[in-house]
């Protein structure tokens, strides 16, 4: 029905997709799986006309087609439902479902609202759900918004539905309901391209599974030819790499202990200890509760149970300020949104968490501030004018400035949340070196990362969080991509330390 033939897509120097050939058939769910950056989303965007391939072509009904935009694809009944739903939150469900097609007119050419609502309701009923078409999208749960987006696609008489990570932000119940809807669509003859990294649901729903790695199709076969282990192996590809064994700096004393830390409905109970000089990696999918755990540790969110121990003393941390006083630091995941003050200088950004330490008689001492900041940034090899606004710096340098803020505080426990996301390779290895130096001086590190290679390169141990629970802990010979990936995805590990 819809086919991609020999597709290649190049962004600058990066080849996102190469020689990809995938064919969808009516009444079939075709799953596209792969690691982050494997090229799944790019493939979905090309199939739906959002982006154009650099080479290769798209066929629809046996004929080659060229899409100028998503509108062209929608006119043929090919509809993309992106991961970030593009709905108008302040408009009604019915209005949203009519976006992109003419609204029914009543007397005097006025839009006939009641007709819109009735037709919207009919489409939603086809999906087996009751959502009031007059309610506004912002009032709906994420699962219901997903259904509205599907409803809009049905309004457009979709014959091919392309879903990019549809269950990523859904809870278990909503995900199950969505899978039911997808089955129903299949029965009615729709071809579904289903992009996801949730392996259990893919094995349940997919008629055909195509595995992508580094932009290429590595295996395409009927769904029942796969099991979780073989799927993970195809996705990761390389013969399973063992951790080379970083020279550990871990000492015996426990620096940090979380005993049954819980935030009801979000994560927990979490039991975790980190020794001085140890790097504990924390793996898990987006939304598994890793950042939430970290933000509760530093007192930004309220814990509902459990006890923290820092340097052997039980502590309660109810604010970031207290965390700093107790020697616990957190470098947040979103560098620009959560970390930096872009309009301010590197100097102000570094000193912002230490104003109490560089003041005398209630006045910031310029001399002490400069010395404090220079000391911090010298260790990070940050070059350039420390009075220049950080908005003028490169992403890598911005990250180093943010790290500098926390290193300068000399924490005994440092939580790094995705410290190298979006950072070029050179700076990435510099940051690795900085992290290892920190552990030499006895700092305990919790490294939250979605990059398994990074976890393997740095960690003494890796714990895996899934749905708010620590579901695995791996070290030594068990510290492999396979084990971490399987635990994070919820597949059974073939061996290893799953608790």
Footprint of another protein (CB under 8 A): 48, 50, 69-71, 74, 80, 82, 86, 88, 99-100, 300, 319-321, 323-324, 330, 332, 337-345, 348, 351-353, 355-356, 359, 362-364, 385, 387-389, 405
Q: Which residue has the tokens 């940090």?
A: 256
Nearest-approach distance from CB 303 to another protein, in angstroms: 17
d(CA 443, CA 333): 20
Quote the least distance from Cβ 411 to another protein, whole Å.
12
In this complex, which beta carbon is closest to another protein, that of residue 217 or of residue 382?
382
Question: Nearest approach, Cβ of 83 to another protein (angstroms)?
Answer: 12
Dist. CA 484–CA 235, nearest whole Å: 13
Residue 71 vs 495, nearer CB to another protein: 71
CB of 116 to another protein, least distance (A): 14
Cβ-based nearer residue to another protein, 241 or 388: 388
Closest listed residue to residue 159, CA positions, set 318, 47, 325 = 47
3-class DSSP assignment, residue 446: strand
Q: Which is nearer to another protein, 251 or 300 (CB)?
A: 300
**Residue 130: CB minimum distance to another protein, A:** 25
Q: How far is the CB of 306 from another protein (least distance, A)?
A: 22
**For residues 260 and 422, which CB has a smaller minimum distance to another protein in the complex?**
422
| Residue whose CB is less far from another protein, 305 or 422 | 422
Among 330, 283, 297, 313, which residue's Cα sits nearest to residue 459? 283
Q: Which is nearer to another protein, 303 or 487 (CB)?
A: 303
Taking CA atoms, 286 is separated from 69, 191, 260, 316, in Å, by: 30, 28, 22, 27
Alpha carbons 413 and 275: distance in angstroms, whole number: 9
DSSP annotation of 476 reads G
**Nearest-CA neighbor of 236 among 43, 38, 421, 422?**
38
Rounded to a whole number of angstroms, the minimum distance from the CB of residue 389 to another protein is 7
CA dihedral 263, 264, 265, 267 (to 10 degrees): 40
**Residues belonging to the chain:** 499
Q: How far apart (Å, rounded) are the C-alpha atoms in residues 230 and 115?
A: 50
Nearer to another protein, 13 or 363 (CB): 363
Phi first, then psi: give them for residue 97, nearest 5 degrees.
Answer: -70, -20
Specify the 3-state DSSP secondary structure of 146: helix
Q: Which is nearer to another protein, 79 or 457 (CB)?
A: 79
Write out the two tokens for 242.
């063992």
For the bound state, the minimum distance from the C-beta of residue 263 to another protein, rounded and expressed in Å, comes to 17
> Minimum distance from CB of 364 to another protein (Å)?
6
Residues 6+ apart with CB under 8 A from 107: none
Q: How far is CA 352 from CA 247, 339, 359, 373, 416, in A?
A: 34, 11, 12, 10, 18
The smaller minimum CB distance to another protein, of residues 46 and 457, is found at: 46
Report the SS3 class of residue 279.
strand
Two tokens at 335?
Answer: 């560098």
Tokens of 378: 């010298």
Min separation Cβ 277 and another protein, Å? 25
User: Chain-centre distance of CA 132, in angstroms?
Assistant: 31
Q: How far is the CB of 349 from another protein (least distance, A)?
A: 9
Comparison of 333 and 460: residue with beta carbon closer to another protein: 333
Cα atoms in the 13 Å half-sphere on the side-chain side of 273: 11
């Amino acid at each position: 029905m819809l086919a991609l033939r020999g597709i290649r897509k190049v962004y600058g120097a990066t080849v996102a997709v190469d020689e990809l050939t995938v064919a969808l058939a009516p009444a079939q769910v075709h799953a596209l799986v792969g690691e982050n950056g494997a090229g799944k989303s790019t493939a979905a965007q090309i199939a739906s006309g959002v982006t154009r391939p650099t080479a290769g072509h798209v066929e629809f009904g046996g004929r080659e087609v060229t899409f100028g935009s998503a509108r062209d694809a929608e006119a043929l009944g090919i509809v993309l439902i992106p991961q970030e739903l593009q709905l108008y939150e302040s408009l009604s469900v019915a209005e949203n479902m009519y976006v992109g097609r003419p609204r029914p007119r009543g007397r005097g050419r006025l839009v006939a609202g009641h007709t819109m609502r009735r037709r919207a309701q009919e489409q939603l009923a086809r999906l087996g759900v009751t959502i009031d078409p007059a309610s506004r999208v912002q009032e709906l749960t994420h699962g219901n918004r997903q259904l509205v987006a599907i409803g809009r696609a049905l309004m457009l008489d979709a014959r091919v539905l392309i879903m990019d990570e549809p269950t990523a932000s859904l809870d278990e119940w909503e995900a199950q309901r969505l899978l039911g809807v997808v089955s129903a669509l299949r029965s009615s003859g729709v071809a579904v391209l289903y992009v996801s990294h949730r392996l259990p649901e893919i094995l349940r729903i997919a008629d055909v599974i195509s595995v992508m790695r580094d932009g290429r199709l590595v295996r395409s076969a009927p769904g029942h030819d796969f099991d979780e282990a073989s799927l993970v192996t195809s996705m990761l590809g390389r013969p399973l790499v063992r951790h080379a064994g970083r020279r550990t700096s871990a000492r015996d004393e426990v620096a940090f202990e979380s005993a049954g830390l819980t935030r009801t409905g979000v994560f927990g109970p979490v039991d975790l200890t980190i020794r001085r000089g140890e790097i504990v990696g924390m793996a898990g999918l987006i939304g598994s509760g890793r950042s939430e755990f970290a933000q509760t540790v530093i007192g930004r969110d309220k814990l509902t149970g459990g006890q923290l121990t820092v340097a052997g003393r039980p502590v309660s941390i109810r604010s970031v300020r207290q965390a700093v006083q107790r020697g616990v630091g957190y470098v947040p995941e979103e560098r620009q949104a959560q970390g930096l003050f872009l309009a301010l200088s590197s100097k102000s950004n570094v000193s912002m968490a230490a104003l109490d330490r560089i003041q005398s008689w209630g006045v910031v001492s310029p001399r002490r501030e400069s010395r404090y900041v220079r000391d911090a940034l010298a260790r990070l090899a940050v070059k350039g004018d420390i009075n220049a606004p950080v908005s003028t710096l490169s992403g890598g340098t911005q990250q180093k400035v943010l790290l500098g803020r926390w290193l300068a505080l000399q924490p005994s426990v440092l939580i790094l949340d995705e410290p190298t996301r979006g950072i070029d390779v050179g700076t990435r290895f510099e940051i690795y070196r900085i992290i290892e130096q920190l552990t030499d001086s006895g700092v305990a590190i919790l490294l939250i990362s979605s990059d398994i290679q990074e976890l393997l390169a740095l960690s003494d141990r890796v714990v895996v969080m899934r749905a708010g629970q620590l579901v695995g802990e791996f070290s030594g010979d068990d510290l492999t991509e396979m084990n971490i990936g399987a635990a994070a995805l919820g597949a059974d590990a073939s061996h290893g330390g799953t608790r």
